[in-house]
Chain A
Amino acid sequence: MPISLQVNGERVEANVLPRVNLADFLREHLKLTGTHVGCEHGVCGACTVRVNGEIVRSCLMLAVQTNGTSVETIEGISDSGEIADLQAAFRDRNALQCGFCTPGMLMAAQDLLQQKREPGRDEIREHLSGNYCRCTGYQAIIDAVESTARARMGRTP
């Protein structure tokens, strides 16, 4: 089926089989391998991307459903600088080890920070509860998100 969409601000025209999910479309057709596939049943959160500004599990969405939408992946929001401060906080706090969950984790964390200017630790833990990290034990991630929220508050009074 033909689809037409924006991916990271670029127009993409493609022909896809109806059964191809968005994660596979991004990885295999567009070679955007920053979106990771961990469970293929919507539980682990590694494949989290943004579609029209909302975070979704790209393994649970069909590529054809994105026709006419704007899709943003980790590559896009890295290059735009949108989450540069969040990425720096993750780096400084060592909030990633193997890095496989990290793109999805950053997507989910940025989503929270857009919704809520200064979430508490419990709120951060709750919001990230759909993103599985086997390496860190989460505390460093919570710390990094918390410090980013504080820094952003400082910038925008």
Chain B
Amino acid sequence: MTSVRVNPDALSVLDRPNSYIGKTVPRPNLERLLQGRGLYVSDIELPRMAHVVFLRSPHAHAKIVGIDAAQARAMPGVIAIVTGQELAAVITPWVGVLSHLKGLKSAPQSAIAIDRVCWQGEAVAAIVATSRAAAEDAAEHVAVEYEELEAVTDMRTALDPATSVIHASLGDNLAFERVHVAGEVDQAFADSDEVVETEFIFGRHTGVTLEPRSVVADWNAAEARLTIYQGTQAPHMVQNIVALHLGLREAQVRVVCKDVGGSFGIKVHIYADEMATYALSKLLRRPIKFVADRVESFNTDIHARDHRCRGKIGVKRDGTITAFEIDDLTGIGPYSMYPRTSAIEANQVVNLVGGPYTSKNYRARARVVFQNKNVMCQYRAVGHPIACSVTEGLVDLAAMKIGMDPLEIRRRNLIADDAYPCGSPSGLRFEKLSHHASLAKLVKMMDYDALRAEQAALRKKGIHRGIGIASFIEVTNPSAAFYGVGGAKISSQDGVAVRLDAQGSVICATSITEQGQGSESLTAQIVGSVLGVSTDRVRVILGDTDMTPYGGGTWASRGAGIGGEAALQATKILRKNILDVAAVILQSTPDELDIANNAVVNASDGAPRIELNELARVVYFRPDTLPPGIQPELMATKHFVPREYPFAFTNGVQASWLEVDTETGFIRLLKHWVVEDCGTIINPQLVDEQIRGGVVQGLGAALFERCIYDERGQLTNANMADYLVPMSGEMPDIDVGHVVSPTLESELGAKGAGEAGTAGAAAAVSNAVNDALQPFGVTITEIPLTPQVVLTALGRV
């Protein structure tokens, strides 16, 4: 029978009867996507809408001598051809810096290049026409005269005095440098039995969202309002930036985000061509649509990683790690991206290296340099794959040097599960992590000893399989410490408004956004659980700055942890308000009542008292029947931001089992395991699928993905046939397990889960490859691990 409770609040709001928390519930928005009835930006058409195509620089670095568009202007369907100078009348340039990244500098960037182009793919003119095809035809007839300038392409020589400076006003090509020292590093290395040092190389890669970046900007001159349809992770950030640079008030800008065809951090930024599209709509007083084609996507979607990192580790013979040291170098293109900047990744690398381990001695330097390549910025798991690969690569090299099993060295050095709260040498604060419990679970899931035995048996037959382990920590639930303190108007709080409608269903507007993670689902699950209604009665609205509370959106693994808590708190208030009015109607007290199965029930025995639709009918249509002075409030809004910890760190560990063909250099992934701890799990299926999807993005970086530039700054593989991404045939099955350490910062206890998979996948694969190649006495510390890289290491090419 029903449980008996004296005080309904004594039980957690998450443990209520019929709670959806911790249950797999299908996402409410899937049916429309399954039937091809979603609404992506590329599907949107508006009256009088014109299409823009950008003519882009073929040179990595060149002076624009002149643009002759006379012939193109006469082409059929052409509405306007707009240069950077002309567009500057309606939009101001920007500089991508943040004040808390001390010393970070960048140059003013324009929506369309003026006088000079700084990477191959930078827009030099906008061609607006009645159709995209007409605009593309006309673009071929715009004549641009360039004077080529020396292109700075190799980040290793970008700071040399002999290398030309891309932005003379900045004095040099150094965008940002951070040095961090903790403990007694030199002494620790001197006291070590072994010191291992090597260089790790990470290929530049990109997000390859299946739906390219797309914008429809609609300036209504009569309303003096700009409506922007865009697949963005951060609608309010877009609203703020657009208003700032188009000279509008935020109230004049509405950002609407419908279905988004993949994002992964690619769509959390604001790109120059998007800025140009907003400005063109204002200039031409009509809706303008921009949809990047695939070549443009490769040339202009932010790239990521591209690091060269020297790493050093000291170890005692008993396995104790004494110190870590890194010297990281990354090239970010010609500008720091706006508004989040391109220094965050290197900064994260400094923060995260050595993070899972107890060693207190740490020295790090990171340098971020300009180059004439496409811009680089934050992509899923920012900095984590670099930090994890360096850390875990070094740990394995140290283990190999002292002849210790990779599991054993980790057991001896991972921070103990009962040591929290504690801090890291880089200044991070950990509330509660579970490295050892996670590792123990992983070992069991993968049956480590059996795999080792299988590996040994196969090795005798000339089959080279390897096991790779990678522990990691991950930044989630960021507070204002990420962007706000540096002056960026990017909200770290999120808000949720819930209201009971006139038929007893719930409408919930949240400031987090949906790009397929399941934001809609997790919000409905929380609201339904806390209120006591079924999720089919909860409609979630998101992605509209006119309709939702103000908030940050969905990025940095923050949607569930921050937006979910706001939903929980708002729904608690709505529940109280409903019980208050129910008590009046039923001549009872709120304490004696509860809500379950879409009805107000007795708290004592669960007996139904009044259906929510009946309560709503009374409140909305017959308030005259309520006692005087009673004004029910069937809508509640709450906001949330973590205040105690700047970030809610999660942790986990991954393992890869693979086979290296030493004749061809091909690597076959056989199996992958992940154990991670994201605190409270709202929907196990959604969490697992975030992990799996994240892992596969990491596997892409490990094996295939690389933007290949030549020495003149030309991207040579800007298409999906030459830029390889993981396809189903090459990917392994991935087993996912969990340890649950809820954060106490929120009642919900959820931390983020969206990036953990990407954080450690490449490190696990690299370690597995080196494990497989042990009989050959070679180690590889470069990704992607293409057949050529493998064969080169083996001395076979």
Contacts and interface: CB of A to CB of B under 8 A. Distances in A.
Interface stretch (B179-187, B258-266, B480-488): B258-266
A41 B734 CA distance: 30
Looking at A19, A99, A125, the one whose CB has the most chain B CB atoms below 10 A away is A99
B556 interface: no
Contacts, number: 173
B559 to A, nearest CB: 13
B424 interface: no
B35 interface: yes
A99 B734 contact: no
A36 B212 CA distance: 11
Contact of A125 (B263, B515, B731): B731
B725 interface: yes
A25 interface: no
B517 interface: yes
Contacts of A98: 33, 209-211, 259-263, 515-516
B135 to A, nearest CB: 14
Contact of B211 (A32, A100, A121): A100
Interface stretch (B52-60, B394-402, B572-580, B692-700): B692-700
A108 B587 CA distance: 61
A133 B210 contact: yes
B210 A94 contact: no
Interface string B735-770: 000000000000000000000010000000000000
Given A78-B36, A106-B34, A132 B720 contact: yes
Interface string B232-270: 000000000000000000000000000111111000000
A74 B43 CA distance: 15
B30 to A, nearest CB: 5
Interface in A126-155: 126, 128-142
Interface in B285-304: 293-294
A94 B728 contact: no
Contact of B721 (A43, A46, A75, A92): A43
Contact of B517 (A91, A97, A106): A97
Contacts of A140: 689, 692
Interface residues of A, number: 53
Interface residues of B, number: 55
B676 to A, nearest CB: 14
A34 B37 contact: yes
A135 B754 CA distance: 11
Contact of A136 (B35, B43, B692): B692
A87 B33 CA distance: 10
Nearest to A78: B35
A132 B725 contact: yes
A93 B733 CA distance: 15
A44 interface: yes
Nearest to B42: A37
A106 B208 CA distance: 21
Contact of B262 (A19, A33, A135): A135
A58 interface: no
A41 B720 contact: yes
Nearest to B690: A97
Contact of B209 (A27, A41, A134, A136): A134
A100 B210 contact: yes
Interface in A20-35: 27, 32-35
A139 B669 CA distance: 14
A63 B52 CA distance: 24
B259 A125 contact: no
A39 B294 contact: yes
A91 B26 contact: yes
B40 interface: yes
A126 B729 CA distance: 5
A43 B689 CA distance: 24
B36 A103 contact: yes
The secondary structure that dominates the B interface is loop
Given A33-B36, A132-B210, A94 B719 contact: no
A41 B731 contact: no
A64 interface: no
B607 to A, nearest CB: 34
B588 to A, nearest CB: 41
B27 interface: yes
B689 to A, nearest CB: 5
Contacts of A141: 728
Interface in A60-102: 73-75, 78, 87, 90-94, 96-102
Contacts of B516: 96-99, 135
A37 B40 CA distance: 11
B176 to A, nearest CB: 30
A40 interface: yes
Nearest to B24: A94
B294 A41 contact: yes
Contacts of A97: 262, 515-518, 689, 693
A100 B211 CA distance: 7
B685 interface: yes
Nearest to A74: B36
A34 B34 CA distance: 9
A119 interface: no
Interface string B12-28: 00000000000000110
A47 to B, nearest CB: 11
Interface in B275-293: 293
Looking at B39, B259, B260, B727, the one whose CB has the most chain A CB atoms below 10 A away is B727
20 contacts: A32-B36, A34-B37, A35-B36, A36-B36, A41-B719, A75-B35, A78-B36, A90-B34, A94-B30, A94-B686, A97-B516, A106-B34, A124-B728, A125-B731, A134-B697, A136-B689, A137-B689, A137-B757, A138-B728, A140-B689
Q: Which 7 A-B pairs have the closest CB atoms?
A: A34-B36, A99-B33, A97-B516, A100-B261, A137-B696, A74-B36, A98-B516
Given A41-B719, A136-B692, 12 more contacts: A33-B43, A37-B42, A41-B294, A78-B35, A98-B210, A99-B261, A101-B210, A121-B733, A125-B729, A131-B728, A134-B693, A138-B731
